[in-house]
Structure 1
Amino acid sequence: MPRPRPRTRPTAGAAEPLPPARVLAPEAHGPEHIALDARGRILTGTADGAIRRLTLSPAHGLVRSEVLAHTGGRPLGLVPCPDGGLLVCDARRGLLRVGPGDGSVRVVADEVAGRPLRFCSNVAVAADGTVYFTVSSRRHGLEHWLRDILENTATGQLLRLRPGGRPEVLLDGLRFANGVALAPDEAYLAVAESAAYRISRLWLTGGRAGERDVLVRDLPGFPDNLTRGPGGVFWVALAGPREPAV
């Protein structure tokens, strides 16, 4: 009989395998960014313009799937507000706010410096209420996103909206700006540049405030949405692997 192989212990720092993936809500077509509300329920926008909320049970999986609102466009990135409302980047309508409880939809910003927000993508909110959000392209809309990647227009933007203010451009010339997330101490913003296979960083505080550098480069695919997890870890959704033709 062959001798049994000794068990090997994972090396220090080795990643543990993820649990098996499963579909929670097959009726939610084209879900984009996801976020958790104060009660741990999953929020996402879908291709039909709906904002959905999924209630889960650790023991039984999906308990309830409900539609909170319809934006009338294509919701992408979203983030819950302290009052139970929701900020939504809609690729067709701009930055929106869904009211708590009633599903009302209000346009917060649909232009910057007199130019319409053609492709509003992702959003993050600081503790003081300042909103940071991205525009993927100023040349092409959602229906022609691939053209922007192929042409490498580098017309993406990072915008800031202070409470009571108007949108202002913090970074321009981004290569298909996408996901955005704040550091745990809000010292910097992480911004996914899909067409550049990287995550850029804009420092917000300290001696480097206003400086831009690269947080992660040479990703194996197109970075899309960003989510900050416990301990300051950033989760990065790759929309697809690198494409040699691009």
Structure 2
Amino acid sequence: MSKGQLSPQRKTLRGPRGQVGYEVWGAGKPPLLLVAGLGSRTTLWGELPRLLSEHFTVLAYDHRGVGRSPGGAPFTLAGSAEDGAAVLAAEGMDSAAVVGVSMGGLVACHLAFRYPSRVRRLVVASSAARLTPHGERVLAFFASIFKLPPEEAGQALMAFAFSPQFTDRFPGFVDTAARLYSLPPEDLPGALAQLAHLRQGWDLRPILGHIRCPALVIAGELDPLVSAAYT
């Protein structure tokens, strides 16, 4: 049985907001756009794009300020949604299913609201509709671990995000996730800019009722990062 495309096409587009680096896995199948979380480049997704490319043409892009999407325009949620729409346009795709995780879920909602014709279906996972006091504490935690060496930061995030029972049961997964979430030093300024933008606050509630595509919202009952009550 096929396990999807072994390696992606790495591409770059240049638009009004600057350069955006992105990857494409597979071809000729229904398009699926992956939108990652805070400080994350496409490598966050690990093996997932390759596995999904058995069924989809998978696209993923680096947020402004990290990876192959250097500075240029300041990071905003709406601006990152514009970058996602530009990636779809560059690939000649009228619309796609869009999956956003954590901060990527906020971006995905902006994408569905601002570019409704581009989003066929929407999946939002582990994302809060607005900044809450708990969310402020989580962002303060991210500010503290961003000061650590990359490997230590990844391990600290895993210790915060997963219970001891989970890490004991799936040690291989946690080690892999820690490596994927380790922030390269060159990405630190961009990640801090994203963090500063989030700490100013957000509230998606005014736009959520205007999203017309089918949507699936995923929340973890025991998720320490994002309370299911505010998803």
TM-score of the superposed pair, with normalisation by structure 1: 0.27
Tell which structure's C-alpha radius of gyration is larger: 1
Between structures 1 and 2, the one with greater strand share = 1
Which protein has the bigger helix share? 2
Higher relative contact order (CA 8 A, sep 6+): 2
